[in-house]
Structure 1
């Protein structure tokens, strides 16, 4: 047998060992996936679920925040709400009848309107049990209230100087739903049984997120409430609009202005703060779901590692043959590491598509704009590839340490 030592001196030199490029590595890695498609799909599925969960958890709160920002921009974050508090003896303290005119004298205040509490119930007709209130309240409303709230009429019209003097009513969006009304036919307007008499419904309001109590109420004119429903004329809630840069300054003087004699019996709130607090609570839950998505991703990574370990055991002869034909340990390690990264990357891509689909579907169901942070989309694939590299490191090293003799034995 001729050996290298027996070669003549003038013989042609042996070719240098061929080095596998990155393209060759990935082709070898994809070959391993193609030969076992079902196992590859099941392994990638775990990664896909984890990435999809993380994309959705990041994108859905972003969509919610964008919807909240748009809602506050449309309704105005400069609205303040004044309500009566408790007296020193713990009793309900009514607001003075002069509260609204006094508040309107504050320089930065641009508008103020009030509702008044009416101790009566509303029903669809006079045959319904008087105890069945449907959880609805009845308020007297000033004519400028809708402008102060930046509200809109869904159907019909708002109370005008004429209708406010007669037994007419406007329903909040929730109240209309509970009373079984969705629109107003001017030719045949519906009626409700209110305070032992019929009131004609002339309008239905659109949603008012900054004033949810209005959504669950029936509103009647200030004058007719005093004439027919024993309304005292004291405002129950005052809604105030102020200049954007003066909201906090106005807030500090509202209580003393509304009730100079008893400012401690007045409560002042900023509804936009409640919405922002609600959004913050949603973000806290999002952090929890993000952690759960991370756990799913970890489980997916363990699945990929398990698949690669089994692949190394099943392909011992292939590894031994390639080693016998001159493949280096580095090349064997690169082949299996590339297969693991490709497997996880495929799962990451599928997960991004799933996450985008879930986010878009949920945002559409909530009438939100779908917001997809780019860092979440690109980061999802990158994280999946990183998980694949970590998961495939040990199986790749194990494959590289196999000797030709032990692998082919």
Structure 2
């Protein structure tokens, strides 16, 4: 009767995830300075990406806050030009027709006059300081979020009197620092009853002298038609109102109406900043690439220096996959550490810069999550070749070269 052999083939060793993690930490622990410098490249790239994204987001939040405060739902409807490039005035009923659009909340207007304004009656007529004299509706400050620096706005009584409210720059050019002064306007003295603060939404107000609509029509050559109609629409329906404003204001010649959204100027500035953001993010990507190359270089040098360790582990039974995993985990840990440090540094930069500018700090959560993840991906790609090189190294060759 044959005896069964009791000899069994030894099972290959398997390392637990905790063991692999300890092996992966071996390199960074023993070569701290080199590992820190390698992770620094990744950290700088992630910090730059987070900082640029966060600063751009904070700036956008600041601009949106300003737009809401200024009136981002205001549309300007004015005279356009015909085929001969001649200005086509708005019809007299344009204001009322625009006010009948359902999503429109309020409408106000200004009208041109033939008058000029001077500091005194002794100033030559050609030196008018480029100050326009405009007729204004009583609700203009409410619609355009215009604020008075001093004095008061026109009311039901004063709109019939020789009084004016000056824009910020107009007051400076006329040498008027406070209400109570008089200016020479339209061939007679007008009392200044108010001075406006600078208006970013409608900059033309800053260089205007505003008078009541009845006074302008009776004494300053205004024809009663609006030179600019300002339409305040429901915030969610601004685009709809903008699309029909031209045909509503002048149904006979809708293409001869200029319809603009003043806040688009501020949005154009945001798009310009976004262009610069793209450039800086490109530089951040280059920094990430350089950081990845640094990690790859560190790992390759580490493999060359640790050939004895690799050969001894292989001789004791470590499989090539375990050796590759050790060096790959080491690279991933370097990238992850650099990514975390970069995300923290970028967020700190955003909060510091936003506080200095007086902006609301805004760091998108996706950038904080994507920073370490991107760093890990870059580090993984950088560590594949050194890990494979270590895994393919024959034990005898590694021990002989140690």
* Shorter-chain TM-score tier: 0.7 to 0.9
Name the counterpart of 2:45: 50
Q: Report the more deviating stretch, 372-381 or 257-266.
A: 257-266
Structure 1 distance, partners of 2:133, 2:19, is 76
Query: What does the per-residue CA deviation read over 1:113-166, in whole Å, with 9 as the maximum and x for residues that have no partner?
Result: 11234674778xx99xx8695x87554432211112244446554333455534
DSSP 3-state at the match of 1:221: strand
Q: CA RMSD in A?
A: 4.4
Q: Using the alignment, how far apart are the partners of 1:313 and 1:190 within structure 2?
A: 86
Question: Residues 273-292 of structure 1: matches in 2 within 5 Å?
Answer: 279=270, 282-283=273-274, 285-292=276-283
CA contact 2:116–2:128 (8 Å) conserved in 1: no
Give matches, 1:181-192, under 5 Å: 189=179
Could you tell which deviates more after superposition, 345-354 or 240-249? 240-249
In structure 2, relative to structure 1, the CA distance for the partners of 1:155 and 1:333 (3 Å cut) is: farther
Cα distance per residue 1:40-66 (max 9 Å; x no partner): 232222211221233234444444554
Structure 1 residue 386 and structure 2 residue 381: aligned?
Answer: no
Q: Does 1:376 align with 2:367?
A: yes
Residues 228, 339 of structure 1: alpha-carbon distance in 2 compared, 3 angstrom cutoff = farther
**Aligned equivalents of 2:384 and 2:67: distance in 1?**
50
Match of 2:165? Answer: 169
CA distance in 2, matches of 1:178, 1:34: 68
State yes or no: 1:221 paired with 2:217: no
Deviations 1:206-243 (A, max 9, x none): 6544x3433x4344223565678665554321101245
Give SS of 1:85's match.
Answer: strand
Please report how far the alpha carbon of residue 392 of structure 1 lies from its aligned counterpart in structure 2 after TM superposition: 0.9
Unaligned runs of 5+ in 2: none
Does residue 237 (structure 1) correspond to residue 228 (structure 2)? The answer is: yes
Distance in 2 of aligned mates of 1:378 and 1:327:
35
1:36 CA drift (Å): 2.9
Deviation at 1:108, TM superposition (A): 5.2
Asked whether the 8 Å contact 1:46–1:296 carries over to 2, the reply is yes
Q: Is the 8 A contact 2:162 2:190 kept in 1?
A: no
Q: Is the 8 A contact 2:51 2:347 kept in 1?
A: yes
Q: Are 2:78 and 1:83 aligned?
A: yes
Normalising by structure 2, report the TM-score: 0.76
Give the TM-score taking structure 1 as reference length: 0.75
Corresponding position of 2:320: 329
Task: Summarize the Cα distance change of 1:28–1:207 in structure 2 as closer, same or farther, 3 Å threshold.
Answer: farther
Give distance in 2, aligned partners of 1:180 and 1:299. 59
Equivalences, count? 389
Give 1:21's aligned residue.
16
